[in-house]
Structures are given as structure tokens and as C-alpha cells.
Structure 1
């Protein structure tokens, strides 16, 4: 049996106030004479009951807030180091600013804890939400879905029922590994971009496995390591792979930032890329072409991902336009020197 929908009446009864007071508090109505103690009591009751008004209901009292939430499922430190994020933010901002919306950015370290980011909806009064890096263990999304709150996922979460904007991570990873196989490698390691709870990480691992299977190469669990968004996680994971009795001759790293740590670990072992081990990344962040050697990688359209998610959300809020269930943007393999496909040119003597 479906759970009865919580109403403002339930919040009012729990907080010991009128429904009008609940409306004034949750909608932050200007000029309402509500004491701070009453306000805290109403917000506490709303949180405990899991109640929040949707954007349409709020607009009846206070019109639109003109604020969009951007929740990043990462720690603040991971967000600070994320070289991919600025282009995504640029794309979002270029849509939201002309449409008259502000963007409120919220890093969330643990989406499994109660009220991980639901307070953003309750207290910050946003009209819609873009959730970047969705996780399978997110405790908030089912409630948002039940309430019909406008949410766009940057990334996929099968079965969640939210519109998503993403790239085909499975196919992008498959192409990267196929490229390494075409260069003669059969013992290929993988270092993911994030823990397996992140859908993007799981999909890139799936693409890796599909490429191996297509060429009859056995999957070896020992060649799988999990990164965690940062260079340091790549450095540690690469040292783990290099410590194997039979280390890989190539590694697919599902994040350029993680790959930068991989390159450092290989260098610190006195090895050379690609002579001793080939490396392919994923993202094509700006620094990828400037590291030594320049990084072969799968290019993601970062700006376009942010731009597309923002435009779909604005169309939903402003025009009531039903968002598409899934929008996939293309990827591209960018071949540079780290994979060994491009060899340094030999210097020829200059004849006098």
C-alpha cells in the first residue's frame, strides 16, 4: 500500500502551529512575524516528517525563487580538485544567468545520511535541482521523486525515474580499452574514477569488461583498482598494480585527474610511459595535453553536459516542457603519446 502523502496540516499539528504559520515559514514570506523559536520548530517538524512544498505550491505564495540547486556528490576537497567541474559549471551558468536564475552549489560527502541535502530543498527554497554524480545508495532521491520535485541527473541512475543527461560511459570505456588491445596489450589494468556506488564508475568498469570479453581476454579481478576522484587515489592504485607479481603492460584510468597520479607513480618507479606501460585516461580535461607524455584520453563534452542539463531544467520550470528521460552526448577518443600509438620522431642529421 502506498504511503499517505504528508501535508502541511501534518507539519502544523506536529509543530503545534497553524497551517498558515507553516506556509509562512517554509516559503519565507517577507514581513511575516514568526519568532525564531517557532521557525526552528516548524523546520524540525518538516524534516522529521519528510515534507517540503514543491515549486508550484511555493509559487502560489512567494512566486519563483529563481534559484537552482547544484548538488555535487563529492567531498569539498574532491570538488576543489575536480578539473572537469569548471567546464560543467560554465555550461550551467551560461543557461541559468540569461534565464534569471542563480545557482547554489552544495557538495555532499555522504548521500546515505539522513537529510544529506533535503534541507537545500526545505530551507534554501530552490525551484529545481541538478544532481551531479548520482549514487545507487542515495537516500534522498526516492523522497524527491515521490514529491515530484524537479530534478535533473548529471549521470545515470537506472530505475530512479529521473531525467538524466550523460555520455555513454560504457561505450567510451570500451573504445579506450579496444584501442589498447589494438596496440597489442592483453594484460590491461583499470583504475576507476570513483568507488563502485557511483553509476559512472560502474559503467566504465562494464565497458572495460566488454572490451576484454570481445577479444577473449580473461577478466582478472587483481587488475581492478578503484580511484576516488583525486590524483592521490590514482597514485596509490597504480602502485598497487605495479606491485603485482605480473603487473599490467597498459592501464585504462577512468578519470584524467586520477591518471595524473598514475603517471607520477609510474615515473617514481623509474619506468617510462609508454615504453614500459601505456596509459589511457577519460575526460580530456585541459591539462591532459600538457602533461608528460601528453595523455591519450576519452573526450567528454563537459560544457555541453552542463549546458544541456540546465536547459532541460529551465524548459521544465518555465514552460512545463516534459523532460526527456535520457539525453546522451557523444564521446571521442583523443590519441596522444601516453598510449604508444604516436612514437617520437627520430632526429635526422642535417646535411651540409
Structure 2
């Protein structure tokens, strides 16, 4: 992006004139939803009075704007794309991008060769920004995009030290609340089925599980933790192993709703009643959670809000690439149904 001419009004000056934040000005410029009409008029008046020309518009006039953003899915296992999470978050992001007038391009990146190919595609000016999802701990693509100065926002993060902009849910707090609910019900032998160990989201949900038990003075037994991969089949297998080794288990936190659905199958096959014998809680609150038998108590992620926040951060980075990265963590909510 070229430098502004001396004396050219800045985004900050427009924000100050309108009495709003820089992000609000960016949303008005990009015609995003969620801005009050009175605020929108104030920003538009400030733009007119100052003669401000948005950088994105200047890029478009110069023929260097693609008017498109890429949604990149980095999951190497094709089977994962059948899981509800992908369709739900793609829908949420698609709705959020639709309000901006930009084109959303869906891209799959699963290997080093595909990473390099996508990097060259993005650097070639074919997209203005990148939304990344399903990123594992050792994935270098966010670093490659950052080095290329490509505006990028992650869904979740690779570690606690993530420096690329991201939007995440409070996975630790959500898991802690779920296990606390099981403890309040009088459950004392509580197991968990995790997600993949190389994904920070799974690590956070496992940490919340341990924190809740430690706060109650119980402490989780290592053998009460079974690793899954967020799929239904992994939940079924893990639950079968857990109840075979520890028949005293009376509560389970599964790292996703699909994992919990598999756990319910294994419990039913073993003759265990839910919730009478074993209470089960999932994570996500997909439509699936209302169709299981019994309907699933779960931790709701605000997927629509996550989608809007990711697109908002990306638009801000596209407008002002020099600003520092941003980190947003959104609250979760425990939704009570019959399984716990």
C-alpha cells in the first residue's frame, strides 16, 4: 500500500471528527453491518468534511484491489470436513462477509506444496486478506502470511503466544463451567474425551477440565482422560475404553458435540443410562446437540459473533496494515438439556 501524501486526512482524524473509534470508521467505509444509522451519518459527514479517501478505495482505483478474501481451511484430514463445525463456521463467516460486498473464496491447504502455492496466489494480489481456520500448532502458514504482510485473522490460535490476529472462544472457562455443573450435580468420577493434542483449542478445554476438578479438591486421574479428534467415531471408541477401564465413571465432558454423540452411543451399547448413570456434556451447541438421545447439554460457542468479529478484524487490517495485531476472546455459555 502506498504512503499517503503529506496533509492527506488519516483514518484517526476522521474518527476524532466523528467522535467514534477507528474500527467504527472502518466498518462504515466497508458498509459493514452493526453500525447505528446516526453513527454512520456522522462518519460519512466527517469523511466529506475532511476529504478523506479510504486506502481500500485508492487501491481499487489503482487496480490493485481484488475485492475478495480467502477462507483457508488447513485441516489435513479430509474426513474432518464432514463434521458440523466446518459447515457452521463457514456459514457464519459467509454471512459476515456478505455484508461487506467482498467475495469469499474457499481454499483447502493441506501440504507444504499447497501452502507455498497459496502464498504465491495471495501475494499475487488475488485476495485482499485471509481468514484461517483449523490451524494446528506446527502450521507455518500464519507466519508465512505475516511475513508477506498479508492481512490475516485466525479462528482460534496455535498457542498462548500467538501473535497473528485471532478470534477465539473462552474454551478454558467453558470447560471449567461444564465440569463445575457436573460436580454440582454430585458427580465425582468425571472423565473427559479431548480433541487432538496438537490443537490449542483442545489443550484449553482439557485445562478447563483439570482446573474445575482441582478447585473442587478432586484432581483428575490421568487415566480418566482419553484423546479424540472431535469426530463421532473417536468419541465412541474413547468412551468404550473409559467405561471398560473405569466403570465408576459417572460424568463425561466431551471436547465437541460430535464427540459427545459418539460417547452416547458407547454408553447406550454398554447399558449405561444417560443421565441417570453417566451425565454427558458436549461443546459447541450445534443443531446436532438437540437431536441426540437424550438431547445434549453443551457449551455454546457464539459462532455468528465469532464470524462477525473475524471479518471486522480483517477489514481493519486491510484498511490499516501497519496496526498491531488484535486478539479477541468471546464468552461461552452452558446450555442445559437432558443429558446432564
TM bucket, shorter chain: 0.7 to 0.9
The match for 1:122 among 120, 123, 133 is 120
The alignment yields a C-alpha RMSD, in angstroms, of 2.4
Q: How does 1:40-59 map to 2 (within 5 A)?
A: none
Counterpart secondary structure, 2:99:
helix
Counterpart secondary structure, 1:117:
helix
Match of 1:332 in 2: 333
In structure 1, distance between residues paired with 2:292 and 2:165: 36
In structure 2, distance between residues paired with 1:323 and 1:129: 16
Q: How does 1:1-352 map to 2 (within 5 A)?
A: 62-74=63-75, 75-81=77-83, 83-109=84-110, 113-123=111-121, 125-157=126-158, 158-192=160-194, 194-318=195-319, 322=323, 325-339=326-340
Q: Which has the larger radius of gyration?
A: 1
How many residues get paired? Answer: 279
Deviation at 1:80, TM superposition (A): 2.0
In structure 2, distance between residues paired with 1:205 and 1:221: 11
Deviation at 1:246, TM superposition (A): 4.2
Q: Which runs of 5+ in 1 are unaligned?
A: 1-54, 340-352
C-alpha distance after superposition, 1:39-78 (max 9, x if no partner): xxxxxxxxxxxxxxxx9xx979851122212122323321
CA contact (8 A) 2:313 2:326 kept: no
Instruction: Normalising by structure 1, report the TM-score.
Output: 0.73
Instruction: Normalising by structure 2, report the TM-score.
Output: 0.76
Q: Which runs of 5+ in 2 are unaligned?
A: 1-55
CA contact (8 A) 1:96 1:314 kept: no
Match of 1:348 in 2: none
